[in-house]
Amino acid sequence: MNNLLALVKQMNLIRILEALGSGTSIRKLAAKQKSGQTASIDNKTASNTSTRPFSEIIKEASHKYGVAEDVINAVIQQESSFNPTAVSSCGAMGLMQLMPSTAESLGVENAYNAEQNIMGGTFYLKQKLDEFDGNLPLALAAYNAGSGAVRKHGGIPPYKETQAYVNKIMKSVDHWA
């Protein structure tokens, strides 16, 4: 069963990459996804055309959008474990796991390009922070489950995944907790 699930995920990755018209070798990315390779902020660089380390892009996004670097780092760690080729079972892509429609609305042309993904994802998180008056737990819940779910439930939705997501990020962000 696990092999079948892994095969389906790999096939989804290939379909998404083909749809995006990525110039990166689809077989190479699929092999990375299959092997479970992950990236580290210290030694990996942005994929597809950028050679900048993730830490530089995160610092730029932090300054540009006013979101703390440690928050961006915690979101990336939780979303993709710093894997720029990560694809979720529902189709979210890249380091900050942007859904295709969200990526498009943010002007992200290639969600597997780490620079575009981090800049777009941070801008999206900033939108959620603004929407929920700077309340980080609510913004994180909206990033994960959608703003509608947060409004509907008057706070963090009672979804186990979303509650665990918010708790894990909040615990890793010292000065926000």
What phi and psi values does residue 53 have, to the nearest 5 degrees? -65, 150
CATH number of 38-131: 1.10.530.10
Mean pLDDT is lowest, of 31-35, 96-100, 101-105, 124-128, for: 31-35
**Comparing 174 with 34, which gets the higher pLDDT?**
174
pLDDT given for residue 88 in this prediction: 96
> Catalytic: which of 79, 104, 109, 115?
79
Produce one character per residue of 83-120: b if its CB has 16 or more CB atoms within 10 Å, e if not. Answer: bbbbbeeeebbbbbbbbeebbeebebebbbbbbbbbbb
pLDDT given for residue 107 in this prediction: 96
pLDDT tens column, 142-169:
999 999 999 999 999 999 999 999 999 9
Instruction: Average the pLDDT over 4-18 and give the result.
Output: 48
Q: Domain-by-domain residue ranges, the chain? A: 38-131
pLDDT tens column, 90-114:
999 999 999 999 999 999 999 999 9
pLDDT given for residue 9 in this prediction: 52
Q: Mark whether 79 is an active-site residue.
A: yes
Beta bridge pairs of residue 93? 87, 98
Beta bridge pairs of residue 87? 93
Q: How confident is the model at residue 31 (pLDDT cuts 50, 70, 90)?
A: very low
Torsion of CA 55, 56, 62, 64, to 10 degrees: -160
